[in-house]
Amino acid sequence: MTELAHFINNALVAGTSGRNQPVFNPATGESEKTVALASADEVNTAVAAAKAAWPAWSKTPALRRARILDRFKSILWERADELARAISCEHGKTHDDALGEVTRGLEVVEFATGAPHLLKGEFSENVGTGVDSQSIRQSLGVVAGITPFNFPAMVPMWMFPVALACGNTFVLKPSERDPSAPLLIAKWLAEAGLPEGVFNIVQGDKEAVDTLLHHPDVKAVSFVGSTPIAQYIYETGTAQGKRVQALGGAKNHMVIMPDADLDMAASALMGAAFGSAGERCMAISVAVPVTDAVADALIDKLIPKIEALKIGPSDMKGAEMGPLVTSQHLDKVHGYINSGEADGAKIVVDGRNFKQDKQGCENGYFIGGTLIDNVTTDMKIWKEEIFGPVLSVVRRKSYDEAVELIQSCQYANGTAIFTRDGDTARAFSQDIEVGMVGVNVPIPVPMAFHSFGGWKASIFGDHAMHGMEGIRFYTRIKTTTLRWPTGQRSDPEFVMPTLG
């Protein structure tokens, strides 16, 4: 059985810890390979490689760094299908969905190729008599990324293209559930001309994470995952003096106003709730129809659509939703549906009844789309992130009640409102305490030249990812004040200099 290894100094490096774990194909339930789990010594080797590469890479002109990223972007574009297949085989999402993931990651690479412009500093002439001042942005050194299973290509590309463009070197600890896509990315970066040690991968679990968090040569850590782990990453990393951006969980609501286009809203909910089997931090998991009449009409439109979902492996023609990532996660999602039913919610469409009959996939981790009505805020299925294809309906009588519901949620990653009224949309956009807002857009993921990040328990740290926030996170400002000798006599000054 193939063991997936680490990637250090532009080469695959076999694991030496003696620990590994199986990597499953979610569509079949079969283990087709294993992944090495790094020891602290192996992580230290990767960090040492990155540290050794940093001096030369940080002094490489930004234009040359951008050209390497541009070549990498071309390779990504040409081989998107190959990367998408690697994603689907280990995550389970459909091929088209995986291609979409690759495209969104590629857009961050495109943004990062603008490094020569993005890293321009500031200069002020004559801040004092014969004195000039300049500010520049410089890299931090070795930075690390710890990324989740649900986007094994896109989320790393939220991080490393910007970090590399800024002159940092990078150590990635991807999810051990789907490690093949990051290894392809590493191979293609080397092919594009990235020098040895600039980008490295260590496979692993908590031991690898903790080693990165405590390593004195790792200057910053980027993370995407669940809120409890995000908080742990943030508190542990900052206690070690590191910069940390840690994106956590979500419970994203979509408000449907009485004036909304219900056909548009229902179609939007289908993609936002059930795309990628709901394993997205930006998935809409709560529909908030305003008035019972809107709720009843919306549910009537959703039922046939959910029942008609085409569910199957990524190679099934026309598949709209694949399996969940692991058998354990399948059990967890079933448990949430059971909990909602026990608490008195109405299971309108029950995904627990779905059976996959495609030959070879009978033991895959499949579940059907689920629609639950009459969900209340005291229920576990509203309070917690389900991360599966389960759409809860929380009815509200007015716009104000809908807003109050969202404001009371501990998470604040994304939200949306569907309405034809400009005043309502503007008020919602301005007043809602959520980091990313959509108006008649169900999944308001910003483009790469803006930044991605929620509020409240959905993020720990002061900087969102990619866009200019990413540039600021991966650099530090240095300001130099300059005066050149003029040949005139200069007497000592014993007061606070004003330069005026």
Instruction: Compute the C-alpha angle 236/240/245, nearest 5°.
Output: 60
Residue among 42, 39, 43, 3 at smallest CA distance from 22: 3
Residue 490 has pLDDT above 80, yes or no: no
Residue 499 has pLDDT above 70, yes or no: no
Residue carrying structure tokens 């930004």: 62
What's the whole-number average pLDDT of the chain? 96
pLDDT value for 487: 73
Mean pLDDT over 128-140 rounds to 94
Structure letter (DSSP) for residue 328 = H
Q: Which helix (H) or strand (E) holds 471?
A: helix 467-473
How many Cα atoms sit within 13 Å of 98 on the Cβ side? 26
How many Cα atoms sit within 13 Å of 34 on the Cβ side? 12
Residue among 75, 267, 92 at smallest CA distance from 177: 92
Q: Are 141 and 51 in contact (CB under 8 A)?
A: yes
- pLDDT per position as a tens digit, 389-442: 999 999 999 999 999 999 999 999 999 999 999 999 999 999 999 999 999 999
Active site residues: 281
Q: Which residue has the higher pLDDT, 499 or 245?
A: 245
Encoding tokens for residue 229?
A: 């782990």
pLDDT value for 356: 92
pLDDT value for 32: 82
Residue 497 has pLDDT above 80, yes or no: no
Residue among 233, 256, 257 at smallest CA distance from 244: 233
Mean pLDDT over 124-149 rounds to 95
Residue 124 has pLDDT above 90, yes or no: yes
Residue 498 has pLDDT above 80, yes or no: no
- Measured CA to CA, the distance from residue 61 to residue 360 in angstroms comes to 52
Mean pLDDT over 70-76 rounds to 98
Q: Under DSSP, is residue 383 helix (H, G, I), strand (E, B) or coil? A: helix
Mean pLDDT over 283-302 rounds to 98
Residue among 56, 45, 35 at smallest CA distance from 8: 45
- pLDDT per position as a tens digit, 347-373: 999 999 899 988 999 999 999 999 999
- pLDDT per position as a tens digit, 451-469: 999 999 999 999 999 999 9
> CA-CA distances (angstroms) from residue 375 to 142, 168, 414, 420, 423?
46, 47, 20, 26, 28
Q: Under DSSP, is residue 13 helix (H, G, I), strand (E, B) or coil? A: strand
Domains and CATH numbers, the chain: 2-248+458-480 (3.40.605.10), 252-439 (3.40.309.10)
